Amino acid sequence: MAKIQARGFTLVELMIAVAIVAILAGIAYPSYVNQLQSSRRAEGQALVMEIMAAQERYYSSNNTYTSDLAQLGYTLVSGNLDPDGGWYRITAAACGTAALNACVNLSATGQGAQVDDGTLTLNSRGEKTGHW
């Protein structure tokens, strides 16, 4: 009688393969999350720069900045700009004690997965705070 040889993987071999995949995933996942946060931050920074450019165009026509981002053509959600992904809520206000016709401050506050990122700020003087 001919002996039939078993084919396939043993349970131990499968468990070792699963353990290796789990270890690799555990190492890769934090890097992936950091990369996502970094790319969202770059999107937020680009949006703040875009809005500041729109503010400067508005200033050249009206001799003042605006705190109403709808006047610049941006959609508002309860008074604040909430970009497509909703990662940042952007507001515009006068800089400290300066009048709005002298200086505008844009603030992008992290939301959702970006809440730990804090607030990015840029004013019309070119001063930046936050994770630039």
Averaged pLDDT of the chain:
88
What is the pLDDT, as a whole number, of residue 85?
57
Instruction: Give me the mean pLDDT over the 20-48 stretch.
Output: 93
For residues 19-44, give the mean pLDDT: 94
Cβ atoms of 38 and 46 within 8 Å: the answer is: no
Six token digits for residue 3: 């002996």
Q: Is the pLDDT assigned to residue 84 strictly greater than 90?
A: no
Lowest-confidence pick of 10-19, 42-51, 76-85, 105-114? 76-85
Q: What is the pLDDT, as a whole number, of residue 78?
A: 46
* Residue in the block written with tokens 């009206």: 62
pTM of the shown model:
0.76
Q: What is the mean pLDDT of residues 40-45?
A: 90
Among the ranges given (44-53, 56-65, 78-87), the one the predictor scored with the smallest mean pLDDT? 78-87
Contact indicator for 65, 92 with CB cutoff of 8 Å: yes
CA torsion sign for 49, 103, 60, 62 is positive
| Burial label, 87 (beta-carbon count in 10 A; 0-12, 13-18, 19+) | buried
Contact 37, 87 (CB under 8 A): no
Inter-CA distances, 35 with 24, 26, 114, Å: 17, 15, 12
Helix, coil or strand: residue 117: helix
Under 8 Å between Cβ of 55 and 68? no
For residue 3, pLDDT beyond 90: no
Tokens of residue 82, six digits: 């909430």
Within 8 A by CB and 6+ apart from 43, the residues are: 83, 85, 87
